[in-house]
Amino acid sequence: MRRAISQHELSRCASLIDKNGGDSKSVRWLEISDPQHVAAMKSGRSSASVGEPALDDAFARGTVRVLGPVFDAIALRFMIAGYCTSEAFAKANPEVIARFADAINEAAHWANQPKNYAQSAQIIGPICNGAGTSR
């Protein structure tokens, strides 16, 4: 089996495969940028793919289907990202900290609404384009 995958998703997918009776060591992993996932599956370069929001449009059109909940292989709840600053900066700039937290929360709320998945893919796509390489 060939599988298209972004580097940060490798451990999730391997865990999902192993927890469901498969052997992730037998999979040939292919690292590509998120916007290329659907094309890789259509062309036969990969058999499966993991990548949001890149696959959301294809899923909505019925072009692809969900094989398994890869995040569930990690835990039911977990932190995927975090932000840090120094205590000195936080004390000296509480208004900046509050505005930053509000902006992150507002962006997360927007990005996690299914109606915004396609637009989110358009925003993230150029950032990810060409970031992956074949292995």
Beta bridge partners of 5: 31, 50
Q: Is 10 exposed, middle or buried (0-12, 13-18, 19+ CB in 10 A)?
A: middle
| Highest mean pLDDT out of 22-31, 92-101, 115-124 | 92-101
Q: What is the mean pLDDT of residues 54-75?
A: 79
List of residues 6+ apart from 10 with CB closer than 8 A: 29
Phi, psi at residue 19, to the nearest 5°? Answer: -70, -15
Question: What pTM was computed for the model?
Answer: 0.48
Contact predicate 11/54, CB 8 Å = no
| Highest mean pLDDT out of 13-17, 91-95, 114-118 | 91-95
Each residue of 99-123: pLDDT tens digit?
A: 999 999 999 899 888 898 888 878 8
